[in-house]
Every structure is written in C-alpha cells, then in structure tokens.
Amino acid sequence: MNLLLLILSYLSISITFYLTPLTIFLAKKFGFVDDYQKRPHPAHTHKGIIPRAGGLPIFLGIFIPLLLLVPLTKQITGIIAGSFVLIIVGIWDDKKDRSPYLRLATNALAALLAIGAGVGIPYLTNPLGGAVIHLDQWIIPINLFGNHSIIVWADLFALIWIVWMMNTIGWSGGIDGQMPGFVAISSIVIGILSLRFISTDPSQIAVTLLAFTTAGAFLGFLPWNFFPQKIMPGYGGKTLAGFMLAVLSILSFSKLGTALLVLAIPIIDAVFILIKRIGSGKSPVFASSGHLHHHLLNLGWGKRRIAAFYWIVSAITGIAALTLNSQQKIFAFALVVVLISGFIFWISILKKEFGDN
C-alpha cells in the first residue's frame, strides 16, 4: 500500500509538473490568458499577461494515475465525471469570463454527478457527544432506468457542502502559490486520516489514493504558480480544488470536522465576504476585493509571505486534526474562528486608520 501511494504521488506530481509548461504555451497561443489591461477583475492581484487554464494539467495529474493503477469504483467514476464538467467549463471561462450564475449552475451539476454516484453525507457526528445525527432516513425510490433512490437530507447536505467548498476555495486563490499549497496540505491530512481506517473499511483505500493523487497534482503545479507565477489555476483549477476537498472530506472518516479545521482561513474569509456583500446589497456570487489576502497586501505583506501564512496555518490546524477527536475539533475550530476573526477585524481597523490618514 505504501509503495502504491508513493508511485501514485510521484506520477501525479510528475504529470502535472511536466504538462504545465505545455499548457502555458498553448494558453498563450490560443488566448487563454489574463490580460490586466483588457480583462480587469476586482479580485485580481497580478499585473501583466498571465496564462490561465492551469486546471487542465491538475485534472490530468489527479486522474491519469488513478485510471492506470486503481480499479474504478462507482464513486470514483462519478467524481471523474463531475471533475470533467468543471474543467470543461473552466477552460471555457478561461477564454472569456462567464456569468457567475452559469458558473454556480455548473458547480451544482458537477456536485450532482458525484452525489448520484454515492457521495452523500449519511450522518453527522454530534459535536456535543451522544448519538450521531442521521441524515439517511428519508429515501425516495426512483424506478427510472433501473432502481435508484434519493436520500434526501444526505444528498441535500452533500450538495450544499460541495458547492460551498468550490466557491470557498476559489475565493482564496488570488495570490501566487496560495491555493495549491494549502490544498495539497489539506489533501495529505485527509489522506492520512483515511489511511487509518483501511483495516476496518477497505473502501477507504480508494479514498486514500485519491487524496494523495490530489495532493501530488497540486504540488506539481505549485512551482509554476508560486511567485512570480507563470500560470494561474484558472476557474477550472480553483473549482476542482474545492470539489476534490469536499468529496474527500465526505468519503473519508475525517468527515466535515477535519475540513472545517484545516481550511479554517478560507472558510472564515468566505463567510466574512458573504456577509459583507449581502449587507451592502450586492449579489453574493459576483466577485469583489476585500478578501483576507487583499487586506494583507494593503498592509504591505508580500505575496510569498501571504502564501506561506496560509500554508503554515493549514499545516498547524492539519496537525491538530490528526490528533483531536470530533468534539475537540469543533472546539479547536471555534478557537480558530475567534483568532482569525479578530485578526480580520484588526487589519480592517488598520486599513481604515491608514486610509483616513
């Protein structure tokens, strides 16, 4: 098992790393680029002309090793199908920005493909202890093209979680190297936690392998995306990152508590942004500045420093997730919420005072 993990991780890193320069060349040739002068965007932090479409080599780095060495399950097939939708839409968006409502609809489609293959949330661990909260009691059978069923609450919670994660991770990808680093760390943490349960649940083998190929693909992309970036992950790469972390957290025994903890900064930042947008009467799906990394830039932080800050916090919370039980993870997440929220308020006050002066 350990040898297979090493082989898959090496293949994922290598495929993504060596295909990315070709993607850069093709993106420049066919106009899949971000030109700051021609394509202004309120959330962008870069200058000049940067190739997009980075999601394509990441997608290939994740799934080519799996297709070569791992037997396909129904769930893995559904995840591949959902990921393919995201990459196709992402490449289309990388050519020319599409409507955020169309993006949201395709996010939901990708999530439904995975859910239809069995990626659901049948229960939630009660953070206060006691019995688990079952979500698989309401089942609607569907006798169309075979016997199928909708597990209403399990599937609905999974849909909300997957779509939320796709947007949350996407919003935290505005700095060179920021997103690939913390996505790789998060995937490794989920993979290690899933590995612990293989002896009692053989289905976790596929989840562990998928987690480490995901980590490998984003690590292979990182050298090309780190400051100064040679290519951006593009919309496809960002949504693929959130999609993979969402389904991995569902399929592994780590469940949602680990994802909440290891991805605390992106999640808290997303909540602040939603509150700010809705409070100002704006649509929550339209991009804007005001993310944590924008505030840090305004305070004079460099892009390398900001990326490292995200990685370090993810690593620390990831190590905590490896040692804490479900109840402890909730308390740890609450502590991180207080610390990060206080940090965001503090830098917001600094920014206001600096602007007033």
C-beta separation of 217 from 16 below 8 A: yes
Beta partners for residue 143, in sequence order: 147
In which residue are the tokens 């995840």 written? 79
Distance CA 164, CA 242 (A): 8
Q: For every one of its 357 residues, what pLDDT tens digit does the chain have, with 9 covering 90 and above?
A: 788 999 999 999 999 999 999 999 999 999 999 877 666 665 666 678 899 999 999 999 999 999 998 888 899 999 999 999 999 999 999 998 888 899 999 999 999 999 999 999 888 776 666 667 788 888 888 765 556 688 898 999 999 999 999 999 988 888 899 999 999 999 999 999 888 888 788 878 888 999 999 999 999 999 999 999 999 999 999 999 999 999 999 998 656 778 888 888 898 888 888 888 787 777 776 666 678 888 888 888 899 999 999 999 999 999 998 888 877 888 888 888 888 888 877 776 766 655 544
Q: Which two tokens stand for residue 225?
A: 């995306």
In which residue are the tokens 């870069």 written? 46
Q: What is the pTM of this model?
A: 0.91
* Residue 122 φ/ψ region, left for φ over 0, alpha for ψ in the -120 to 50 degree band, beta for the rest: alpha
DSSP class of residue 55 equals H
- Return the half-sphere exposure (C-beta side, CA atoms, 13 A cut-off) of residue 296: 22
Distance CA 269, CA 292 (A): 6
